[in-house]
Chains A and B, each alone.
Chain A
């Protein structure tokens, strides 16, 4: 059966920005269906679909929902993680700017499933356009009886509030996000307790990524079996957005069945920029270890990439051609992690800076082979023993740099080749 795009079905249909147009295109049917089911049945349907979180960690969505206590004296919350700050990632922006109601629908379904009357959509502060579109959609949804005291006339109450962040990658980490939502520094919390029990404002909370909640909408619309039927196996299911950028002909967000290979993805976006050769690619955002020319047949799915020593992460695919200095590329990512470490844990705070410092030395031509050894000894100590996964994430690119390109770097160092000639992207003199 041909693959039908669902997550991006309303892209290019601006009428879907309003409740009316969205409904005309089949929207809010899934919510009506969910509200006719018992909440437990909705959780069960999502569980059965095999949906895994699209925010980075790939945690089974239905299972996460089932951790929320049914009977609880406090209010419960849905928090939509729209912080999207993982370098290379821009899929959630597309969803929010083009199809806000698809997301709102998923939020209300999640609310019904776990018994939450409020959703906070925490959106990164820089996404001013997406925030405006969401606010507009929320207003429309209230006016149309989709939100508020009496959702679709069922007596269920649900409110959605759009909350803007202010520029900090760590606020994408779910407990950093909660701290930020509550008006503090975005410093991740000690876990346990997990947010399902003690989350926003001390109450049981489900935190899901934008794309995850959009998937929920379609699972309720078309059923778990439909969702399960897409993807390579029962642990890697559903449609997936891949955000591809870097040295390719047509960067963009592409919807495919989960688990297409890198080669297929690359073909779909017109191949390498100017037909150049591939040097390396990152399959899942800055945190995902790099892969090389020999890894092009790996299905871009959770388990398959994990087995290959990398990860699907946010499915942000960054492509580097043969003219790229991989040390320089990795250095840029290390600087990012050093800048974004919240500073609570010593290994992460110190380690990210060390990695950036050593890479700077190598890249600039002042480094020696001893620096490479030093780097190798630092990397294993940056993550693992800290409060959140940022430390682990920071290891990813450097670990893969050493594993995949260690010999090449050593050879370059021996021959004093650094800094490598700076790649020029713009042709000098060419009119633009």
Chain B
């Protein structure tokens, strides 16, 4: 193997490397491990993928860094810029829009005092509008980190947001 040994393991932790190595037999190519690796790398790095992390992932999978960067920018769940400690995705697609999502977007703006995709002053949170999250029967809804919050009202949104650490 090439330069694994010299790679900076503080950027792509050993635990991630071990998990990915365990997945290798599942796929006929190394390239197919890219999305699984990026998911784990992003989580380990606090929610976003810095240029250093991208290089570390590229190095680990022996892929060109430019290719990894392109993949990162293609997918909505990967972030190449800093995000808040918590990340809110508010669905504003049609079924949610019909049940008041636009009002909730305003509530989020008021709560955090920043615009979409900006980090709140206390670093606690960033929020974005998102496309349909497959929960239209419980619209309006939002995702906070990995969790769905459904059947929202402005009041519920305020409660949820204020309870975040």
Interface residues of A (CB under 8 A from B): 75, 84-90, 92-93, 124-129, 159, 161, 163-169, 180-186, 201, 243-247, 251-253, 282, 286, 316, 318, 320, 324, 328-329, 332-333, 336, 339-340, 422, 424-426, 431-432
Contacts and interface: CB of A to CB of B under 8 A. Distances in A.
Contact of B153 (A168, A201, A245, A426): A426
A426 B95 CA distance: 15
Contacts of A424: 100, 103
B14 interface: no
Interface residues of B, number: 50
A55 to B, nearest CB: 14
A327 to B, nearest CB: 13
B71 interface: yes
A282 B74 CA distance: 29
B45 interface: no
Interface of B: 26-29, 31-36, 38-39, 63, 67, 70-71, 74-78, 89, 92-95, 97-100, 102-103, 131-140, 143, 146-148, 153-156
B77 A183 contact: no
Given A329-B94, A424-B103, A84 B35 contact: no
A316 B93 CA distance: 13
B71 A87 contact: no
B73 to A, nearest CB: 9
Contacts of B33: 183
A186 B76 CA distance: 12
B32 A126 contact: no
Contacts of A89: 132, 134, 136
18 contacts: A85-B132, A92-B134, A93-B135, A161-B27, A166-B38, A166-B77, A166-B78, A168-B76, A185-B70, A243-B136, A244-B137, A251-B137, A286-B94, A286-B132, A332-B93, A336-B131, A425-B99, A426-B153
